[in-house]
Copies of this chain bind each other. A is one copy, B any other.
């Protein structure tokens, strides 16, 4: 069955798939190039034909993760019919993605990849940025600063719920994911309803140093 020399069909793709599986099992911390190689049935040196080092493989996973994230958010948005509902749907999709694609989510926000080294990663984020930012802007027509502040707060709501959910802070009873996602969406609606309190000083006293959308 095994010839003395064995050429893999598409090792590069197999390594990315294996990395996702491994991260799903052990988290980003438990990821290692060696273990991924083992699972792909190749020696630890084989991956270096396709990736310069460990981080380059992680970055490839990251690109796929951003794409999946974008797809998930887009799917959620399509079912909504008002700016408010669209924002709530995005928050809901954000939380659900974190759980259902936990490995990808961990790579997105926990891999600490060097963005300057992997410009394709930063580039992959752009459509997601547009998606999030554009959805929020509809809530604050003609007020860019307000949209940025509101967008950051909404994202923090999504991210906070997602992280605490992944940490197990909400327990693991059946239905918890949908429950928490729904509550995150409701929190988003509550924040939108009370958003007048977001900018206490009516003027734009504090220009934001923040980037509109995250990306590790």
Binding site for B on A (CB under 8 A): 29, 82, 84-85, 88, 109, 112, 140-141, 143, 146, 149, 152-153, 155-161, 163-164, 167-171, 173, 175-176, 179-180, 182-184, 186-187, 189-200, 202, 206, 208-211, 213-216
Contact = CB atoms under 8 A, between A and B. Distances in A.
Nearest to A182: B206
A99 to B, nearest CB: 14
A109 B171 contact: no
User: DSSP majority for the A interface?
Assistant: helix
Given A140-B216, A186-B198, A193-B210, 17 more contacts: A82-B208, A112-B167, A152-B170, A153-B186, A156-B157, A157-B157, A157-B187, A160-B163, A168-B216, A169-B214, A171-B209, A179-B206, A179-B209, A186-B197, A186-B200, A189-B194, A194-B195
Contacts of A167: 109, 112, 214, 216
Given A180-B210, A213-B193, A156 B146 contact: no
A174 to B, nearest CB: 9
Contacts of A209: 84, 88, 170-171, 173, 175-176, 179, 186, 189, 193
B153 A183 contact: yes
Contacts of A199: 186, 216
Contacts of A143: 215-216
